[in-house]
């Protein structure tokens, strides 16, 4: 039975992920997730005391997916930009799941926001490491700027419906930032 329980939990998170991506977190009820995951309410609530706990699991899974992606690629601009491309060009892209969750959960002390904060700290850390490897002075400042560029690019990719153009412009922007920060080297 433990495998079945684990599979039910995974099915619930997978179903919720697809629904949250397509419709937004608050717009999707627990009842809809239960119906589409084809589990009972007892099974759902055995795994998640409340829908917010499921939202945390959804974001933690997304963070783990991104961390796995970065861990399996060389820490260079190509890998980081491929990550943006994957985020922005996927079917049904509706913006960054972490930014969307932050917008739907405005309380900065909410557990959902804690995962969003973890994600943002991790991303800035990855960008900092990458900038350091490029010999950029003030790598953390540059990393925070790259994060802002990334945030804006994800919004533009969704709003414009032109994710490939946005990735190209983001690439150019990051290259210009790094070049100017490194004194034109």
pLDDT tens-digit readout, 6-29: 799 999 999 999 999 899 999 999
Q: What is the pLDDT of residue 23?
A: 93
The answer to whether 155 and 102 are in contact (CB under 8 A) is no
Tokens of 89: 């060009």
pLDDT class for 49, splitting at 50, 70, 90?
very high
- Residue 2 predicted with pLDDT over 50: no
CA separation for the pair 146, 139 (Å, rounded):
10
Q: Which residues contact 96 (CB under 8 A, 6 or more apart)?
A: 87, 151, 154
Q: DSSP string spanning 33-78?
A: HHHHHT--HHHHHHH-SSHHHHHHHHHHHHHHHHHHHHHTS-SSHH
- Mean pLDDT, the chain, rounded, equals 88
Average pLDDT rounded to a whole number, residues 115-131:
93
- Residue 165 predicted with pLDDT over 80: yes
Average pLDDT rounded to a whole number, residues 89-98:
76
**Weakest-pLDDT range from 4-18, 50-64, 86-100:** 86-100
pLDDT class for 41, splitting at 50, 70, 90?
very high
Q: What is the pLDDT of residue 5?
A: 61
**Weakest-pLDDT range from 42-56, 64-78, 155-169:** 64-78
CA separation for the pair 132, 93 (Å, rounded):
31
- Residue 80 predicted with pLDDT over 80: no
Q: DSSP string spanning 78-134?
A: HHHHHHHHHHHHSTT--S-HHHHHHHH---TTSHHHHHHHHHHHHHHHHHHHHHHHT
Tokens of 2: 């433990």
* Domains and their CATH numbers in the chain: 1-49 (1.10.10.60), 51-181 (1.10.357.10)
- Residue 79 predicted with pLDDT over 80: no
CA separation for the pair 88, 115 (Å, rounded):
20
Residues of the chain above pLDDT 90, percent: 58
CA separation for the pair 24, 170 (Å, rounded):
26
């Amino acid at each position: 039975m433990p495998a079945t329980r684990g599979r039910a939990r995974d099915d619930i998170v997978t179903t919720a992920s697809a629904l949250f991506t397509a419709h937004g977190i608050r717009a999707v009820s627990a009842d809809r997730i239960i119906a589409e995951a084809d589990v009972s309410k007892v099974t759902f609530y055995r795994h998640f005391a409340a829908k917010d706990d499921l939202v945390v699991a959804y974001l933690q899974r997304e963070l783990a997916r991104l961390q796995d992606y970065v861990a399996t690629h060389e820490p260079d601009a190509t890998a980081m930009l491929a990550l943006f491309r994957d985020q922005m060009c996927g079917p049904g892209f509706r913006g960054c799941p972490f930014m969307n969750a932050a917008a739907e959960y405005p309380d900065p002390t909410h557990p959902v926001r804690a995962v969003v904060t973890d994600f943002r700290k991790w991303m800035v850390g990855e960008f900092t490491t990458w900038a350091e490897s490029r010999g950029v002075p003030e790598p953390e400042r540059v990393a925070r700027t790259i994060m802002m560029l990334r945030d804006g690019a994800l919004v533009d990719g969704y709003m414009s419906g032109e994710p490939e153009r946005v990735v190209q412009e983001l690439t150019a922007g990051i290259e210009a930032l790094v070049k100017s920060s490194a004194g034109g080297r």
